[in-house]
Every structure is written in structure tokens, then in C-alpha cells.
Amino acid sequence: MDTTESVIRRMTRLAVEHDAVNLSQGFTDEPPVFDLVWAAVTAMLGGDDDQMDRLGISTLRELVPGAEPTALLDRPLKEVLAGLQGRPDRLNQYSFPFGLTELREAIAGYTERLYGWRPDPRVEVTVTLGATEALASVLAGVCTAGDRVIVPQPYHEMYPSQAAIFGLEPEYVTLVEQISAGVWEMDRDEWAAAAARGARALILNTPHNPTGTVCSANDLAWVAELAMRHDLLVITDEIYEHF
């Protein structure tokens, strides 16, 4: 199988090994949004939804009845939190492998607010571990070994690797750099010829890594028409949709 180590991981490994500045990955120094952190902490403390709500609004005096308030200040936080574990615990259980119901409903609502279309959260929304698992699941679900998959280049390194994992043949088409205009454009003749040769799917990444190109409405309409003409599935990687 023609797969290689991720270039990003390799550069990170080498940077650590040689104590070099690692330009291959972006490392943010901002903490996550606190509401997310808090939701994770309270969910892991267990109990039920009411207990999670209670932890968010109660004072320590209310949560640890009978404790001498000033003595509480001298107790390690870990010990105090251990005493706040919810019993019985209904939160830390088997989950839906395709994502919590509430999360899928929130994603459907968010999609509707942004795009004016509400996917059915029961059957049209699946939560994955990042774009990598999402693409792998889609390729495994809709392609069969031997299928051709159109990949515009330049591309993110995971597309050819994943194609190889599933025995698919990448067919590379070009985004052409128009240097004076500062844009990258689809070579429509080349893309149309690749679709006409009978590819199963096209992986469209917009906004695009590494060029930053955002497909115009005209480009998207053209791709949609091409896909319908050739019964081509379009798999979009829109990981940077808010950039």
C-alpha cells in the first residue's frame, strides 16, 4: 500500500528531535472557550444534567455543606472536586457512535442558520473525530476499491494517503495560479475531462489549503452541474469555512 508518514507529523518529529522552530503546524497559545472546558469538567464529574447545572450556579458553601468555609480554602482543588462527583452517574456512559443527539441537533440548527437548510439530525449528521475521520468514513462508505477519485492539486497531504488506504486511484487535476491576479483557478477543461472518464468522486476543499482559494458561487455551480452530468459525488472538505 502506497502510504507515507504525514509530512506534518514528520516535520514535527524532526523539529522536536533537533530543537528547531516548527513551522509545519500552527500552535495556538489561546485556551479553549471556557464554556467548553466547563462543560467537559462538569460532565466528567458525572451525575446528571441537573447536577451539571447545579455545579455551574452554586457556591462552594452550598456544594460542600458542613465544611468550614476558610478550611475549604486550604484544601487542594482536586480533593474538593473529588467530593463533587455525581452519584449515581448517568453521564459517563456509552454514547452514540455517530454523535450525541443534542450535538447533532445543534449542528443541524447551526447549518440552518448559516446555510438556510436543515439536515435531518437523525440520519444526515454524523459527528467525527475531525476532518480526517470524516473523509475516511465518506470514502469507505461511498467508494469501492479501484474507483477513481478526482483530487485538485495542490492538495492536503491526507487525500492521496486515504485514497491509497481504500484502494482508490487519485486522478489529479489542477488549480492554476494566476500570479498577476493573485488567485488560483480551476482548469475547467481538465476537470471536465477527468469527470467524463468516469471518476466516482471529487474531493473539493474550499477554502483551500494551501492556497487559501475560496471557490466562487460560479465555480460551485459549475462543479454541481459537472457532478450531475457525470453522476459524480462531490465530497467537500470545508474545514476552514469560517476563515
Ligand X SMILES: Cc1ncc(COP(=O)(O)O)c(C=O)c1O
**Contact call for residues 202 and 144 (beta carbons, < 8 A):** no
Question: Which of these segments, 87-95, 127-135, 211-219, 222-230, binds ligand X (CB under 6 A)?
Answer: 127-135
Residue among 22, 174, 209, 211 that touches ligand X (CB under 6 A): 209
For the bound state, the minimum distance from the C-beta of residue 7 to ligand X, rounded and expressed in Å, comes to: 11
User: Which CB, 126 or 209, lies closer to ligand X?
Assistant: 209
Nearest Cα residue to 187 out of 197, 199, 172: 172
Phi, psi (degrees; rounded to nearest 5) at 70: -70, -30
- Residue 168 DSSP SS3: coil
Nearer residue to ligand X within complex by CB, 171 or 237: 237
Q: Which residues contact 203 (CB under 8 A, 6 or more apart)?
A: 135, 149, 150, 151, 152, 155, 159, 235, 236, 237
> Does residue 204 touch ligand X according to CB under 6 A?
no
In whole angstroms, how close is the CB of 156 to ligand X at the nearest point? Answer: 4
The yes or no reply on residue 162 touching ligand X (CB under 6 A) is no
Please report how close the Cβ of residue 209 comes to ligand X at its closest, in angstroms.
4
DSSP structural state of residue 14: H
Of the residues 51, 156, 213, 235, which one makes contact with ligand X according to CB under 6 A? 156
Site for ligand X contains 239 (CB under 6 A): yes
